[in-house]
């Protein structure tokens, strides 16, 4: 929904709690849930006007007050004019690609993106005439060299999944716009608390609300954000194709946004402490975390982000056997592919989130068989350190 309210003077923490609130005549303090599929019109003329585009509720596939409140709040936090909420993060990607691209168009994408996004671009949309070239996220020359006359979009995640590489948003926005293309950024790892890509020239931001925005692993959801004009495309796709967010999930995400900045601060602090500790362990080849001075884009992350984030990865000596032994020995961390949860989660990317990516593509992205990704939660950091030490002890030195 469009962000037409005068919230410009509010600070982010206030926006996270107050933006998008439209109290009903009942006078409720917490945002209500509107679990309805349709709405009653006061007259035939009003029904006709609503279907012709007059503001107001029509059908919950594309207009629902609870979903609208979430859209307004997230738009305010991202600094976007408009937001379109979807049923999942991948639905947000699909809505963006389907609305802004057509057969014969070309996309330049980072090869360091979510494995399912690779599959969507290559194996599904590729069947309908969309071409995608994958390049090294941090190689600006490779992005420029991949541009074609029919390039319409540059797509990336930053930090990347699972290697936490950082893309230079301002530089990539300049490359995209010089080519007459749009820059689309998946901002799931940072959320608007740590990074606002639109401020650096991006045209569209995508969020998987399933992750940090919920923060407790309860619901699926996503969002597409950008200018009011540009969001008419994803909104039209949502109305027709129907990958909608449910009112209940929207209400959960509204509650998640209220505590997002507090949680992200804890995620950052604990991830930094664990990354520094892991870097000194003999079983570890290398740690990938933007908060470490050893990270290749450490300086860029400091300029572009307000914090390094809660995700880190590390490569274990011994490959897959070592990684699996490590994971099987953990007792606190949850072995699951989700991230952004209050509970710390761990996964072996090569055999889970990126298992459908070819071995050659995984190698090109730096995803080794010994790579483990951790989404650091809200537990006591010393308990987490001891749990990781238990895993390292299981593989020896």
104/129 Cα distance (integer angstroms): 5
CA 7 to chain centre: 24
Looking at residues 140-164, what average pLDDT do you find? 97
286/311 Cα distance (integer angstroms): 15
pLDDT at 356 over 90: no
- What fold does the segment set 12-258 form as a domain? 3.40.640
pLDDT tens readout for residues 210-227: 999 999 999 999 999 999
Residue 49, C-beta contacts closer than 8 angstroms, at least 6 positions apart: none
pLDDT at 1 over 50: no
Burial class (CB in 10 A: 0-12, 13-18, 19+), 28: exposed
CATH code given to domain 261-395: 3.90.1150.10
pLDDT tens readout for residues 32-87: 999 999 999 999 999 999 999 899 999 999 999 999 999 999 999 999 999 999 99
Lowest mean pLDDT among 113-122, 270-279, 333-342, 358-367: 358-367
- Which pLDDT band, with edges at 50, 70 and 90, does 397 fall under? low
- Which pLDDT band, with edges at 50, 70 and 90, does 348 fall under? very high
pLDDT tens readout for residues 309-318: 999 999 999 9
Look at residues 36, 384, 75 and name the one whose alpha carbon lies nearest to residue 253. Answer: 75
pLDDT tens readout for residues 85-104: 999 999 999 999 999 999 99
pLDDT at 258 over 50: yes
Q: Confirm if 18 and 96 have CB atoms less than 8 A apart.
A: no
Q: Which two tokens stand for residue 344?
A: 């710390």
Instruction: Please state, for a pLDDT cut of 70, what percent of the chain lies above it.
Output: 97
Mean pLDDT for the chain overall: 94
pLDDT at 307 over 70: yes
pLDDT at 6 over 80: no
- Which pLDDT band, with edges at 50, 70 and 90, does 114 fall under? confident
- Which pLDDT band, with edges at 50, 70 and 90, does 5 fall under? low
pLDDT at 3: 44
pLDDT at 366: 85
Every domain of the chain and the residues it spans:
12-258, 261-395
Q: Is the pTM for the entire model greater than 0.95? A: no
Among left, alpha and beta (phi > 0; psi -120 to 50; other), residue 201 is: left
259/281 Cα distance (integer angstroms): 33
């Amino acid at each position: 929904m469009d962000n037409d309210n005068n919230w410009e003077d509010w600070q982010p923490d206030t926006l996270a709690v107050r933006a998008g609130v439209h109290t009903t005549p009942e006078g409720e303090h917490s945002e209500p849930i509107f679990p309805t599929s349709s709405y009653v019109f006061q007259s035939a003329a009003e029904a006709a006007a609503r279907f012709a585009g007059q503001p107001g509720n029509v059908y919950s596939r594309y207009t629902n007050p609870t979903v609208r409140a979430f859209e307004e709040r997230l738009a305010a936090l991202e600094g976007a004019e408009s937001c379109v909420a979807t049923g999942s993060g991948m639905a947000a990607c699909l809505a963006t690609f389907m609305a802004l691209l057509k057969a014969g168009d070309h996309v330049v994408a980072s090869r360091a993106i979510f494995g399912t996004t690779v599959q969507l671009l290559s194996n599904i949309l590729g069947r309908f005439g969309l071409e995608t070239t994958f390049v090294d996220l941090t190689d600006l020359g490779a992005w420029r060299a991949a541009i074609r006359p029919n390039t319409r979009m540059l797509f990336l995640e930053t930090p990347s999944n699972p290697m936490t590489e950082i893309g230079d948003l301002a530089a990539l926005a300049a490359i995209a716009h010089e080519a007459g293309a749009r820059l689309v950024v998946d901002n799931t790892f940072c959320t608007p608390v740590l990074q606002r890509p639109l401020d650096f020239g991006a045209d569209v931001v995508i969020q998987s609300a399933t992750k940090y925005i919920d923060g407790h692993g309860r619901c699926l959801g996503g969002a597409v954000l950008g200018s009011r004009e540009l969001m008419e495309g994803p909104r039209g796709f949502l109305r027709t194709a129907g990958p909608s967010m449910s009112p209940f999930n929207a209400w959960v995400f509204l509650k998640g946004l209220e505590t997002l900045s507090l949680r992200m601060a804890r995620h950052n602090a604990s991830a930094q402490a664990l990354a520094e500790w892991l870097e000194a362990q003999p079983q570890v080849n290398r740690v990938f975390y933007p908060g470490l001075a050893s990270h290749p884009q450490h300086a860029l992350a400091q300029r572009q982000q307000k914090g390094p984030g809660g995700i880190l990865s590390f490569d274990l000596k011994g490959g897959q056997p070592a990684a699996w032994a490590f994971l099987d020995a953990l007792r606190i961390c949850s072995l699951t592919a989700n991230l952004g949860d209050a509970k710390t989660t761990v996964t072996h990317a090569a055999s889970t989130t990126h298992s459908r990516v070819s071995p050659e593509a995984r190698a090109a992205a730096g995803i080794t068989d010994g790579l483990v990704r951790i989404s650091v939660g809200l537990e006591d950091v010393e308990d987490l350190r001891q749990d990781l030490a238990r895993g390292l002890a299981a593989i020896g030195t």
